[in-house]
A and B are shown apart, each in its own frame.
Chain A
Amino acid sequence: MNLQENTATLSNNKTAAQTTARQAPQQISGSEAVLKALIEEGVDTIFGYPGGAIMPIYDALYDYMDKLQHILVRHEQGGIHAAQGYARSSGRVGIVFATSGPGATNLVTGLADAQIDSTPLVCITGQVFAHLLGTDAFQETDVVNITTPVTKWNYQVTDATEIPEVLAKAFYIAKSGRPGPVLIDITKNAQLQKFDFQGYTKCNHIRSYRPKPIVRKEYIQQAAELINNAEKPFVIWGQGVVLGSAENEFKKFIEKGNLPAAWTILGESAIPTDHPLNVGMLGMHGNYGPNVLTNECDVLIAIGMRFDDRVTGRLDKYARQAKIIHLDIDPAEIDKNVKVTVPVWGDCKETLPLLTELIEKKQHTEWLQKFKDYQKKEEELCIIPEMNPASEVLSMAEIVNEMNELTGGNAIVVTDVGQHQMVACRYAKFNQSRSNITSGGLGTMGFGLPAAIGAKFGAPDRTVIAIIGDGGIQMTIQELGTIMQSGVNVKIMILNNQFLGMVRQWQELFHDRRYSFVNITSPDYIMVAKGYGIEGAKISKREEVRQALQTMLNHNGSYLLEVMVGKENNVFPMVPQGCSVSEIRLA
């Protein structure tokens, strides 16, 4: 399409899009057009909650029940976290329906979470009639403006004829380039309005949108040159490897150069935990070697990660000695936090093979040994004591370790936020990608339970275990109702230390043990679960652990296991805030 043909506002955004359903025009409602669009995009599951302003869409859904599975959640926040879990486990776009006003505002936390963790979502919110916009009508909120900072794109539809094109754009934007959440707000009149439906055309080009930068060969060459001359190269990777489905390309790359590689928690399961070049976790509670050696490597190769402050610690003492290569699809990430020597713009699925071709086979035996030496030290001082506590009180690490042995690393582990999250990320074993689902960037307590529900819908053949603290579970515990009604099979493991443990740990270490409002009581979770028709058990003794975990895993259906763990255990190693990664403390 050229300039002269720019007529309608949106029509200039498609050029070579393929028409998938060119039919004779038929009169349908805006609501039906929404559902037809979802079906064309291959959607099978919707997480949602009805209400006044989205009723026409729900009415249309009544006729599409055989094609679209709708999971009725108990709170819109639960709905959007479930959609995130679905997207993360399946690699597809998560779909959320919510009504106007409070329904839509309840999505905000999930949108912010999905935005910072680059999760592809399409959220559809109902809105009051167009003629009521701005009149403070019942359940009217300015959702588009509220959600602008936490969406990759959003749009308000007031005319049904816009729906097919806007939804095509929404899906394209949500999943292309660096993925993210999109919100489409549809006024009730547009949902009801009948129009000539011309079929649905998928979008694959928007004039003003460049999902991925062009790969520049000279940067690839420079990067390869740096890697080939490096004595101590070190790879750090993030979720970009997973989002780009570049796990194999990544593996080939590190294997050819024998490059030690460490992960951010969102990148974790991209390659198996026991891969010989997987040297562990980065960041505040990461492994000893990867943190210390970040400040010793001569070339740091960052792949699909964004140098979050929890990963870098103090920036002016972060990898100052190293030349830095940064592979990222989002140009805004280059030089944002860490000045880069060579930026490799582009999708790592494209750039990694080009780079692999140019790098030389190397051994790096001594350098790799260094990681092993640090690993050994960490095991002695930190990991072994954590796994085999001297006291009778259970540690979180030994529970996770026991879980590994029973699942063989084949389960999807969904965590909430806090101490248990760090322990789970540190100790859980993974054999396949898209297995570690956690709220990394936003750190959303209450994420775990609904995300696990969604993860199971996204990967129905896999075991899904939600590891959640006693604080986080109480933030979205109502989603047990979603489990009850949908019959989804999720294993819920509450690691209960009777504290908001991570905050307590900081208060202990940095605030003179002034435990200000971190003491949290819990209901009888087993009784609560029972009320929702979910079986469960509570344990606190070491000899019960294996059997209880086995029972949970064998149980036909969802199960809640509450494990009482040490009240004042701390997560170590730790890079205290404001310290350099090489100042990591083992105890």
Chain B
Amino acid sequence: MKQEYTITVYTENHIGLLNRIAIIFSRRKINIACLNTSPSEVESIHRFTIVINETEDVVRKLIRQIEKQVEVLKAYFNTADEIVWQELALYKVPTEVIAEKVKVERLLRQYGARAVVIRKDYTVFETTGHREETDKLVEVLAPYELIEFVRSARVAIIKESKGFHEKVKEFEQAEPAEEVVENEYLSLQEELFPDTGY
């Protein structure tokens, strides 16, 4: 079953890496819903946040292909409930409409929007939140001459993650610590080896 996955990739900060990662998706005709690149908590290590709609099986294979790239340190994938995430949206509305119609201002307050620029001709509001929230505001502002709307890519924090400081130290060593690789069959030992007491 396809669902939304947020992929987090820790990488070296090198030119061309964005392309190398992007083509892993495009080669398989997978649409990237949104992509954000940013610094991470560790200096010199970059972090990609990529959102796609796919099945778990496909995502698992994609993660391995991403990790195979020389400059990628680690990739994780998570469903929406495993992460804390936000997107930022900007809305440009004619200032006179807001001034004239109290309802608009009330709407903006209701959605937690904050004015970032106020000019004679237009005002720019900003909200952050989940997709549904930012989308909803577009909907309600539409009848009031919404001039422009833009939304950022997702930024996400993995709830379970302990950050990357320790991991990096491990990567710096020539002999890395043993890494547990998931394998669905590990839990099925008794079925696989019924007579061996495994």
Query: Which residues of A are in contact with B by a Cβ distance under 8 Å?
Result: 1-3, 6, 9, 12, 15-16, 144-145, 148-149, 152-156, 173, 204-210, 213-214, 216, 222, 225-226, 229, 323, 330-332, 334-336, 340-343, 345
The stretch among B10-18, B77-85, B103-111, B113-121 that forms the contact with chain A is: B10-18
- B195 contacts across to A, CB distance below 8 A: 229
User: What's the Cα separation between A209 and B185 when bound, in Å?
Assistant: 27
The reply to whether A148 and B11 form a contact with Cβ atoms under 8 Å apart is: no
The reply to whether A331 and B64 form a contact with Cβ atoms under 8 Å apart is: yes
The reply to whether B192 and A209 form a contact with Cβ atoms under 8 Å apart is: no
- B99 contacts across to A, CB distance below 8 A: none
User: What's the Cα separation between A433 and B60 when bound, in Å?
Assistant: 35
The reply to whether B14 and A225 form a contact with Cβ atoms under 8 Å apart is: no
The reply to whether A331 and B67 form a contact with Cβ atoms under 8 Å apart is: yes
- B11 contacts across to A, CB distance below 8 A: 208
The stretch among B31-39, B89-97, B135-143, B168-176 that forms the contact with chain A is: B168-176
User: What's the Cα separation between A9 and B15 when bound, in Å?
Assistant: 11
Does B146 count as interface, using CB distance less than 8 angstroms?
Answer: no
The reply to whether B16 and A148 form a contact with Cβ atoms under 8 Å apart is: yes
Q: How many A-B residue pairs have CB under 8 A?
A: 95
- B172 contacts across to A, CB distance below 8 A: 1-3, 12, 15, 207
Does B179 count as interface, using CB distance less than 8 angstroms?
Answer: yes
Interface string of B6-25 (1 = CB under 8 A from A): 00000111111001100100
User: What's the Cα separation between A173 and B69 when bound, in Å?
Assistant: 11
Known: A214-B176, A222-B193, A225-B198. A208 touches B61 (CB 8 A): no
Residue of A nearest to B186 (CB): A218
Does B68 count as interface, using CB distance less than 8 angstroms?
Answer: yes
Known: A149-B27, A332-B64. A207 touches B12 (CB 8 A): yes
Interface string of B45-78 (1 = CB under 8 A from A): 0000000000000001100110110111100000
The reply to whether B192 and A222 form a contact with Cβ atoms under 8 Å apart is: yes
Residue among A9, A12, A207 with the most chain B CB within 10 A? Answer: A207
Given contact pairs A9-B14, A148-B16, A345-B181, a sample of 8 additional A-B residue pairs in the complex whose CB atoms are under 8 Å apart = A15-B173, A145-B19, A205-B174, A207-B12, A213-B179, A213-B181, A330-B68, A334-B64
Does B189 count as interface, using CB distance less than 8 angstroms?
Answer: yes
Contact partner of A331 (CB less than 8 A), chosen from B20, B181, B185, is B181
Known: A3-B172, A207-B172. A216 touches B42 (CB 8 A): no
The reply to whether A154 and B16 form a contact with Cβ atoms under 8 Å apart is: yes
User: What's the Cα separation between A9 and B45 when bound, in Å?
Assistant: 11
- A145 contacts across to B, CB distance below 8 A: 16, 19
Does B3 count as interface, using CB distance less than 8 angstroms?
Answer: no
The 3 closest A-B CB pairs, nearest first, are A332-B64, A205-B174, A153-B70
- A153 contacts across to B, CB distance below 8 A: 70-71
Contact partner of B192 (CB less than 8 A), chosen from A206, A216, A323, is A323
The reply to whether A341 and B185 form a contact with Cβ atoms under 8 Å apart is: yes
The reply to whether A15 and B174 form a contact with Cβ atoms under 8 Å apart is: yes
Known: A3-B43, A144-B16, A331-B68. A204 touches B181 (CB 8 A): no
- A208 contacts across to B, CB distance below 8 A: 11-12, 70-73, 171
User: What's the Cα separation between A156 and B16 when bound, in Å?
Assistant: 10
Does B152 count as interface, using CB distance less than 8 angstroms?
Answer: no
- B12 contacts across to A, CB distance below 8 A: 207-208
Interface string of B150-181 (1 = CB under 8 A from A): 00000000000000000011011110101101
User: What's the Cα separation between A217 and B63 when bound, in Å?
Assistant: 24
- A1 contacts across to B, CB distance below 8 A: 172
User: What's the Cα separation between A345 and B178 when bound, in Å?
Assistant: 12
User: What's the Cα separation between A148 and B174 when bound, in Å?
Assistant: 26
Nearest-CB distance from B128 to chain A (Å)? 31
Contact partner of A16 (CB less than 8 A), chosen from B13, B174, B176, B183, is B174
Nearest-CB distance from A178 to chain B (Å)? 9
Nearest-CB distance from A329 to chain B (Å)? 11
